[in-house]
Amino acid sequence: MTPSASLVSKDAVRIVVWFSKYHHILALLAGVLRIVHPEQFDLGYQALYKLRVSPNDVKDIEYVSLILEAWALPFTGAAILVNRETHSHRDLDAPQQGFDLCATLGTYTLGEFRLPDLQTTLFYPPGTTVLLLARTLKHEVPHVDGERAAIVLFNKDSVLEGIKLDTAPWPASLR
């Protein structure tokens, strides 16, 4: 497996500092997943454990190990989007039955999170968290007036396959 470019550079130390500084907020976000989809939550921590104890197939392990020290999330990836508009899309590299988590912060007004497949627009003010079947449902976030940052937590099929874990089953509420 090949880690993201930002994980194998001088940015690795900045990432560790950021995760350490905001670990309490990230733990709350992980707790949301624990309530909504406990099987995905457990699978995420199984993945984290496997990466920590047997990172044999991971390239640039010295950088990845540094980040794994601070990573305490049941997700295999994270992104921080700042003042970004996202066009309608599905995340085709996400597990079919797994949730992505999007949490937003900032000083903007009138934020929206759109789900075109459902013909639905959600009010998306600062402090909102959305769990989404991102491979299944098209989603988009339009431009806002003001400053907005979003923390997006996700899993990738390729990481789960690389460490020989199956994806979590559909959430009990959708079976």
Q: Residues 136-160: pLDDT tens digits?
A: 999 999 999 999 999 999 988 888 8
Q: Are residues 19 and 62 located together in one domain of the fold?
A: yes
8 A C-beta contact, residue 124 and residue 141: yes
Q: Is 60 exceeded by the pLDDT of residue 55?
A: yes
Q: What is the mean pLDDT of residues 21-39?
A: 89
How many CB atoms neighbour CB 39 within 10 A? 15
Range of the domain at 96: 79-153
Radius of gyration of the chain, Cα coordinates, nearest whole angstrom: 16
Maximum C-alpha span of the chain: 47
Give the whole-angstrom CA distance, residue 174 versus residue 138.
18
Q: Is 70 exceeded by the pLDDT of residue 26?
A: yes
The tally of domains found in the chain comes to 2
Q: Are residues 72 and 101 located together in one domain of the fold?
A: no
Whole-structure pTM value: 0.85
Q: What is the DSSP letter of 167?
A: P
Q: Are residues 103 and 146 located together in one domain of the fold?
A: yes
pLDDT class for 168, splitting at 50, 70, 90?
confident
Kindly report the average pLDDT of the chain as a whole number: 85
Which one of 41-50, 127-136, 149-158 scores highest in mean pLDDT? Answer: 127-136
Decide if 101 is inside a domain.
yes
Q: Are residues 112 and 64 located together in one domain of the fold?
A: no
Where is the domain boundary, 34, 51, 76? 76
Q: Are residues 87 and 143 located together in one domain of the fold?
A: yes
Give the N- to C-terminal CA distance of the chain in Å, as an integer. Answer: 32
**Window from 26-30, 91-95, 159-163 with minimum mean pLDDT:** 159-163
SS3 of 168, please?
coil
Looking at residue 165, its amino acid is L
Q: Are residues 105 and 53 located together in one domain of the fold?
A: no
Q: Are residues 66 and 85 located together in one domain of the fold?
A: no
Count of positions (residues) in the chain: 175
In CATH, what number is assigned to the domain containing residue 126? 2.60.120.10
8 A C-beta contact, residue 126 and residue 107: yes
Decide if 175 is inside a domain.
no
Give the whole-angstrom CA distance, residue 126 versus residue 144.
11
- Helices (H), ranges, the chain: 11-21, 23-36, 38-53, 61-70, 157-162
